[in-house]
Homo-oligomer: A and B are copies of this chain.
Amino acid sequence: MSTQNLTLLTDLYELTMMQGYFETQENENVVFDVFFRHNPDAGGYSVMAGLEQVIEYIKNLHFSYEDVEYLRGLGIFSEDFLHYLSGFHFSGNIYAIEEGTVIFPKEPLVKVIAPIMEAQLVETAILNIINHQSLIATKASRVVFAAQGDGIMEFGLRRAQGPDAGLYGARAAIIGGCVGTSNVLAGKLFNVPVMGTHAHSWIMSFKDEYTAFKEYARLYPNACTLLVDTYDTLKSGVPNAIRVFQEMRDEGIKPKSYGIRLDSGDLAYLSKQARIMLDEAGFTDAVIAASNDLDELLIHDLKIQGAAITSWGVGTNMITSKDCPSFGGVYKMAAIQGPGGEFIPKIKISENVEKITNPGNKTIYRVYDRATGKIRADLICFADEIYDTDQELLLFDPHATWKKTRLSGGTYTMREMLKPIFIHGECIYKSPTVKEIAAYCTKEKNTLWEETKRLFNPHRVYVDLSQKLYDTKTKLLNDMSKQANS
Q: Chain A: residues with CB nearer than 8 A to chain B?
A: 1-4, 6, 8-17, 19-21, 23-25, 30, 32, 66-67, 70-71, 74, 76, 116, 120, 123-125, 127-129, 131-133, 135-136, 155, 157-169, 182-185, 187-188, 194-202, 204-206, 215-216, 219-220, 223, 230-232, 235-236, 264-265, 316, 320-322, 325-329, 331-333, 336, 346, 348-352, 355, 480, 484
Question: Given A13-B198, A204-B348, 9 more contacts at CB 8 Å?
Answer: A3-B3, A160-B161, A162-B167, A162-B168, A201-B333, A205-B336, A231-B349, A232-B484, A320-B320
Which residues in B have their C-beta under 8 angstroms from that of A24?
206, 215, 219
Copies in the complex: 2
Minimum CB–CB distance from A39 to chain B (whole Å) comes to 16
Minimum CB–CB distance from A349 to chain B (whole Å) comes to 7
Q: Check A17–B232 contact: CB distance below 8 A.
A: no
Which residues in B have their C-beta under 8 angstroms from that of A198?
13, 16-17, 20
Q: Check A161–B320 contact: CB distance below 8 A.
A: yes
In the docked arrangement, what's the CA distance between A232 and B481, Å? 10
Given contacts A32-B201, A201-B333, A204-B333, is CB(A160)–CB(B128) below 8 Å?
A: yes
Given contacts A320-B326, A322-B325, is CB(A169)–CB(B162) below 8 Å?
A: yes
Q: Check A346–B132 contact: CB distance below 8 A.
A: no
Which residues in B have their C-beta under 8 angstroms from that of A21?
205
In the docked arrangement, what's the CA distance between A120 and B71, Å? 42
A-B contact pairs, 8 of them (CB 8 A): A9-B167, A9-B183, A12-B182, A132-B160, A132-B161, A201-B332, A232-B484, A316-B326
Minimum CB–CB distance from A269 to chain B (whole Å) comes to 12
Across chains A and B, which 4 residue pairs bring their CB atoms closest together, nearest first?
A13-B196, A164-B164, A162-B164, A12-B196
Which residues in B have their C-beta under 8 angstroms from that of A199?
13-14, 17, 120, 123
Which residues in B have their C-beta under 8 angstroms from that of A20?
198, 202, 215-216, 219
In the docked arrangement, what's the CA distance between A187 and B73, Å? 11
In the docked arrangement, what's the CA distance between A265 and B125, Å? 27
Minimal Cβ-Cβ distance residue in B for A135: B161
Which residues in B have their C-beta under 8 angstroms from that of A355?
264
Minimum CB–CB distance from A298 to chain B (whole Å) comes to 16
With most chain B CB atoms within 10 A of its CB, the pick from A162, A168, A215, A349 is A162
Minimum CB–CB distance from A268 to chain B (whole Å) comes to 15
